[in-house]
Structures are given as structure tokens and as C-alpha cells.
Amino acid sequence: MVLLAVDLLVHGRGRRGRGGADRAAGARVACAAARHLRPRRSRTVRRRTRCAGLLDHRGADRGLGSARTVGGLVAGVFVLVVFAGWELRNSAPLLDVRLFARRGLTAGMLTVSSLFFVFFGFIFVFMQYLQFVRGWSPLVSACAAAPVAVGLLPAARLAPYLVERVGVRILCGTGMTLVALAMAGLATAGAETHYWVIALLLWVGGTGMGWGMTPATASITDALPEAEQGVASAMNDVAREVGGALGIAVLGSVLSGGYRSALDLPPGSERIAGAARESVGVATQIGGPVRDAARDAFVSGLGHTFVLAAVIMVVCAVGVVTVLGARRKPVTSPRMSLVGRR
């Protein structure tokens, strides 16, 4: 809302010939508003911040089809439509939505946002699996996820060379397919799955991310001229942050809902049923048959979560390949070539 207000102020006065001064004034207004809009820990504020569609932490209880969730999504789409309409009417828009007609920008943002959607959501749920199901400490769990970096870093380093030979379309599609395969493989993991199997799948997923993110980022920057590289960088950041936030919200909600629906507590545990359904961590601390039931339910929910992540990645990969088209030439910009030669 603050950004929209600043945009109105800047463009409203800019048409009267005071663009430079009004932009500075708009920046001061934004800073002042941000300074005075610090969140307060009151019940009212906490209650109001819970109505953000998929980000509602109680969405798993109500379901994605609940009135509150659907209402939040509809409101979000409405705001986006209003923002796009307003920007189309301005001669100097904050974000020119016509830029999305450029295939490189659209495909790059779809690739980056979907990869971060899956990656952030994966980290959020996978760390819980390692700690609550396998019983590992936070340090050991973090080290167990190292194969992702082992695959990602070399793949990102190799991507500039590969993209000159096979093109952005093939490399991004291949990388996203590898991530989807890794998620599908992790969907079959259980409490007794050998770690070397998990490590191999993590390495495959990290390799796919390295092959997908590097050319996608270059595709975003190459889609805009040199004078608009700030816009390209900002759009790349937006794709990452929005994708990551939605990944945590959506995949976390699916895991929570799957865990609660699959949890079958033994007879005589009615007094602790509420706490066990609310948190898998509490259930595993209780021990005994309650812990075993909680771990089985968590593995079931985790399988559904990773299947969803794999499906989303496949759909996005098809979309990226379609948007880029069969005749898309490889990106051989100076920026990307320099990355490969360092």
C-alpha cells in the first residue's frame, strides 16, 4: 500500500513537470511511512495479519477451499489487476507490465520463481523430516543436506558453457526436470531409507537447480536493455522472494494437512491427541506408540508434499519450454560469457 501511494504521488505530480523533485519527495514519504508502520505485538495486529490467503497459518485446518482462503486469493488477484491497470495508464510506470511480453523475461521469472518455490518449501519440510522422523540433531540434519550444495555449485559454474552449446530452453528444461525427479524420489523416502539414496537425490536436485537458475537469471537480464538493468535485477529478486515465500506456505500447509489427516493415534491417548495433532515435534517427544504413529503420519504427509512439488515443477518446466519456443537461440551475452571465464 505504501508503494502504491508513492507511485500515485510521483506520477500524479510528475505530469505537472516536477518529476525529479516529486520522486525525491516520494522517497521521503516511503521512508517516513515505513518508519511509523512498525508491527506492534497486539492481538489486533496479529489477528489481522492472519488473513493473507495461503500465508494464513491456520489454512491447513480450514483447507484451500475455505471461504477465508479463497477470499484472500481473490483479493490478491484483484489488487494485481488494479495495479496492472494503473501502471498501463502511466507514461512512467513503476513497473511496465508490457515487459512480460518478452519471452526471455517471462520464462526466466517463471524458472526462478518455481525453483525457489520448490527449494524453500523443500528445506522447510525436509529439515523436519530429518529431525523428527530420523531423530537427528539440527547440526547433523543441516550437514545431511550438503549434497544439494555439492550439486548446485559445480552445475552453476558449468551452466554458462552448456548454455552456449544447447541453449537456454534445453538447459532450463533439463534442470527443472532433474529437480522434479529428485522431488519424486524423495516422496518415497521413509524412516528407514538409506541415507545414500537421499544424498543422491539431493545431489540430483542441486544439479538441476544450478542448471536452471543460472541461465534463467541471465535470460531476465538479457531481456532488457542496459538502461533498465535495475528493473531486471529487481524482477529477479521479486521472483525469488515471492516464489520462496509461497513455497514455504503452500508446501508447509500440504504437509501439515497430510500429517493431521494421516495421524492415527492408539487408544487411550485422547488427552494428548490435540497436542500431537498440533505438532509432530510434541508427538515425537511423547514417545512410545504415539511417536511411531506421528512419524508414520509425517512420512505420509511428506510424500504428498513432494509429489505436489514434483508436479508443479513439471508443469512450470513445460511452461518455460513453451514460452521460449523451439527457435530460441542460446544466450551468449558478455555478462554470461564473463561468468564462465572467471
For 263-291, what is each residue's pLDDT tens digit? 887 776 667 777 888 888 888 888 788 88
Are residues 165 and 295 located together in one domain of the fold? yes
Indicate if 27 and 124 belong to the same structural domain: no
Residue 295 counted as domain residue: yes
The three cell numbers locating residue 60:
491447513
pLDDT value at 38 more than 60: no
C-alpha grid cell, residue 287:
514417545
Q: Is residue 231 part of a domain?
A: yes
In-domain check, residue 78: no
Contacts of residue 41, defined as CB under 8 A and 6 or more positions apart, other chains included, come to: none
Half-sphere exposure of 233 (CA within 13 A, CB side): 5
**Which three cell numbers mark 70?**
479463497
User: Please, which pLDDT band fits residue 252 given cuts at 50, 70 and 90?
Assistant: very high
Same-domain check for residues 27 and 109: no
Same domain, residue pair 30 and 106: no
User: How far from the centroid of its chain's Cα atoms is residue 210's Cα?
Assistant: 16
Query: Does residue 85 belong to any structural domain of this protein?
Result: no
Residue 336 has, within 13 A of its CA and on its CB side, a CA count of 24
Give residue-wise pLDDT tens across range 291-315.
888 899 999 999 999 999 999 999 9
Residue 62, in any domain of the structure: no
Assess whether 15 and 117 both reside in one domain. no
Residues 6+ apart with CB under 8 A from 62: 56, 68, 69
Instruction: Tell me the whole-structure pTM to 2 decimals.
Output: 0.74
pLDDT at 2: 45
pLDDT for the residue 41: 42
For the ranges 79-83, 156-160, 190-194, which has the lowest average pLDDT? 79-83
pLDDT score of 340: 39
Q: How many domains is the chain built from? A: 2
pLDDT at 61 over 60: no
Residue 92 lies in a domain: no
Q: What is the pLDDT of residues 176-228, one digit of tens each?
A: 999 999 999 999 998 889 999 999 999 999 999 999 999 999 888 888 888 88
Give the pLDDT confidence score for residue 63 in this predicted structure.
58
What pLDDT score was predicted for residue 148? 95
Please check whether residue 230 is in contact with residue 237, taking contact to mean a CB–CB distance below 8 angstroms: no
Q: What is the C-alpha separation between 309 and 185, in angstroms, rounded? A: 11
Is the domain of 192 the same as that of 277? Answer: yes
pLDDT band at 111; cut points 50, 70, 90: very high
Domain that holds residue 24: 1-38
User: 145: which residues sit within 8 A by CB, 6+ positions away?
Assistant: 123, 126, 127, 130, 202
More confident position, 50 or 11: 11
Within a domain: 177: yes
Tally the C-alpha atoms within 13 A of residue 230's C-alpha that lie toward its C-beta.
Answer: 3
- Of the given ranges (70-84, 202-216, 319-333), which has the lowest mean pLDDT? 319-333
pLDDT at 228: 80
CATH number of the domain to which 182 belongs? 1.20.1250.20
- Whether residues 126 and 263 share a domain: the answer is yes
For residues 13 and 156, state if they share a domain.
Answer: no
